[in-house]
Structure 1
């Protein structure tokens, strides 16, 4: 373990994050709110801590190894969640506890979108902007941003990139240099955010709401500047724009990059994961629409379709926006939507869940095992896109799935032990580990009514989901700390 390199990177990343406290100050000045001191205090504390950690090893020439990258990522997201809570805790509005402030911060950075704050319509603009900004920074990963804009790190960017980026196939690079890869991803991320902002603004949102909701949409976050979420606007145009960009943000950003570089839309349809992604979305949309109309939840096909379309896409991609109280819909639809969030978005997207590519590999592996029963001596490879998948990738997917189920089960039991009913406990863990946000029963509208113990458990669930299980749990292995 090269602790000098870890300390150097960790300090620099904290310094970088401290500057995220300044845009809300500007928003506060624009709207004449008369106070911005919580953000100035947070900026000073985080910047000072980063400097304190960085300066002793500023001249270190140690290089990060792969397992060092894991430690940096886990440390960063954990400390980031704590540091990001400072403005929420210090601000006079909302007046929330330390636990709630940390929960809100981690929920934003992990793009979960589970909130404990009630009365969003009455919050200061600076706090609202800060919530949305947290999700936008967490969407692509502030560490990938650091690799893109801080090549001065000089301590092995690929190690951070592998530890940070979601999905089972992290070694594929879009460009020869890792800094160029990170820049390419962030350019796409930025331009999608700008396009989404302009579309929302054109459809009738104020510029402030358009920017805030674009941050959350492209990050697959789900935070809103209003208690009624997207439903506040009562606009079909805004809902359809949100659906379009949620679908795009739930796709693999590598595909977006390749389509732009080669100027060939066929790259999308040639991708096996993308095709399954569309099949899952299409199936959930269709079933939800039919069930809403058949149950007379909505009396017209148009209402059933628009409400079903939005909620199906929002929950399937783990965004968490809402235009209706889906947690009050018939139980069949509630369960269908919640299960769809387990699939989530594509690998290399800002979405949560287990990821479409993993489900595709699990399906293909299951089909292969059935074929082996029929033909015991046959050599049957697992193929995706015409290419044979390395058996180590398949093994890693099974390992991930096993740890996912085990982690889910343990946290489900722990939540039930705190006194929550089983539906609330199950949906809360599902919504947080899948980085979805809204759940069922008590946690349908918000998480404010949960006890503090449950909130801390769910904070761990959000981090597990954001860091994709392995990155966090690998630190618990004794072999990780051996030389």
Structure 2
């Protein structure tokens, strides 16, 4: 383990992160809300800590091994979330404790969108902007941004990129060099954010709200500047814009890159995961529409708006709302929560297990049924025109089994802490899937939970953000053997 090199990189990344506290300072000055000091102190603490870690090791050079990359990613996300909580704590928001601000920071950076804050409409503009900015930075992964810079500092970035973006096809690159890949992703991400903000502004949002909500929309985060979320605006145009950009952001960004580069929609029409993604959205939306019309007695226009918006919001793990979906009739709230387990496409800013894994699990199940009928036959699992190696199928099953095991462990801990079954189940689902809103006691916010439950859920957010194995590998003895 190259501990000194890892500490050096952590110092660099922490210094980079400290710069992100400057924009909220500007917002505090612009709106004269008195919140600038908390962010200035947070900036100094983060910057000085980064310098202390970096300066004694500034001349170190070396290439990270894969396991070093995993450790850097996990350490950075954990440390980043802790340092990201500093300005929230110093802002003295409704007397929030350490567990509360760490939970809020983890929720922001992992794009979960679960909140412990009650009374968002009364918060300062600088704090509101900072929460939204945390989600925007976490959406694509701030380490991917750093990968575009690290090569200039003499540090290889591929190991960091591979650790940050685990998945069934994580080794595919958009451009020959990893720095080019990171830049391409961020240009697309930034472009979508700008277009989304301008669309919101044109639809009637204030410039502040438009920018803030574009951050959490494209990041598929779900934080809002209002307690009523998107419902506060009561605008069908805003809901439509939000739905479109949530849908776009739930798609593999490499498809966006290929489409923009070739000026064609062919990458989408040829991608099996995208087809399944759209099919799931349409199917769940139709079920929700029928239930709202015939069981909740909604008018068609209201049912249509709510069904489409909430299906896209929950299925992509964004977590915006215009209505209290936890009170909808029959199985609809649970169906939406289950849709979040599938989540967005691999390579998107969405959470959940990812559509491609769901597709492979389905195909594997179908193959096992065929084997019962034809025991001697050999069936290959194909995605599109490609036949997948068995190692990928085994990895997907391993991921699924580990996900289920961790889910039950977290759920049992929450139930032991006094939560009812519905609340515990939905809270773990909402945090591991990086969704945000749950059912029962956590339908609106997580403020009523104990500190223990908040810490457990913060850890589950990190597991979800890093797709389990990146974090879990650190707990294996082999990882630490030289």
Which category describes the TM-score, using the shorter chain as reference length? over 0.9
Determine the structure 2 residue equivalent to 1:36. 36
- Alignment partners' CA distance in 1, 2:175 and 2:359: 26
- Alignment partners' CA distance in 2, 1:104 and 1:323: 22
Deviations 1:205-232 (A, max 9, x none): 0000000000000000000000000000
Determine the structure 1 residue equivalent to 2:350. 351
Determine the structure 2 residue equivalent to 1:446. 445
Alignment of 1:246-325 (within 5 A): 246-298=246-298, 300-325=299-324
Question: What displacement does 1:364 show?
Answer: 1.1
Tell me if structure 1 keeps the 8 A contact 2:35–2:127: no
Alignment of 1:42-441 (within 5 A): 42-298=42-298, 300-441=299-440
Aligned to 2:240, the other structure's residue is in SS state: helix
Tell me if structure 1 keeps the 8 A contact 2:35–2:91: no
Contiguous gaps of at least 5 residues in structure 2: none
TM-score w.r.t. the length of structure 2 is 0.99
Aligned to 1:427, the other structure's residue is in SS state: helix
Q: How many residues are treated as equivalent by the alignment?
A: 482
- Alignment partners' CA distance in 2, 1:218 and 1:70: 26
Determine the structure 2 residue equivalent to 1:19. 19
Tell me if structure 1 keeps the 8 A contact 2:311–2:336: yes
Relative distance call for 1:35 and 1:426 in structure 2 (3 A) is closer
Tell me if structure 2 keeps the 8 A contact 1:217–1:245: yes
Out of 365-374 and 411-420, give the one that drifted further: 365-374
Question: What displacement does 1:77 show?
Answer: 0.6
Deviations 1:114-159 (A, max 9, x none): 0000100010000000000000000000000001234224322010
Determine the structure 2 residue equivalent to 1:481. 480
- Alignment partners' CA distance in 2, 1:31 and 1:331: 45
Tell me if structure 2 keeps the 8 A contact 1:2–1:63: no
Out of 223-232 and 35-44, give the one that drifted further: 35-44
Question: What displacement does 1:58 show?
Answer: 1.1
- Alignment partners' CA distance in 2, 1:443 and 1:325: 12
- Alignment partners' CA distance in 2, 1:209 and 1:301: 29
- Alignment partners' CA distance in 1, 2:301 and 2:166: 36
Question: What displacement does 1:297 show?
Answer: 4.4
Determine the structure 1 residue equivalent to 2:460. 461
Tell me if structure 2 keeps the 8 A contact 1:382–1:388: yes
- Alignment partners' CA distance in 2, 1:327 and 1:127: 28
TM-score w.r.t. the length of structure 1 is 0.98
- Alignment partners' CA distance in 2, 1:94 and 1:30: 23
- Alignment partners' CA distance in 1, 2:87 and 2:7: 25
Tell me if structure 2 keeps the 8 A contact 1:344–1:356: yes
Aligned to 1:113, the other structure's residue is in SS state: coil
- Alignment partners' CA distance in 2, 1:48 and 1:471: 28
- Alignment partners' CA distance in 1, 2:387 and 2:35: 59
Relative distance call for 1:274 and 1:35 in structure 2 (3 A) is closer
Out of 421-430 and 47-56, give the one that drifted further: 47-56
- Alignment partners' CA distance in 1, 2:393 and 2:379: 13
Question: What displacement does 1:394 show?
Answer: 1.1
Deviations 1:171-215 (A, max 9, x none): 000100000000000000000000000000000000000000000
Deviations 1:80-130 (A, max 9, x none): 111100011101344311110000000000000000001000100000000
Out of 458-467 and 361-370, give the one that drifted further: 361-370
RMSD: 1.0
- Alignment partners' CA distance in 2, 1:479 and 1:34: 50
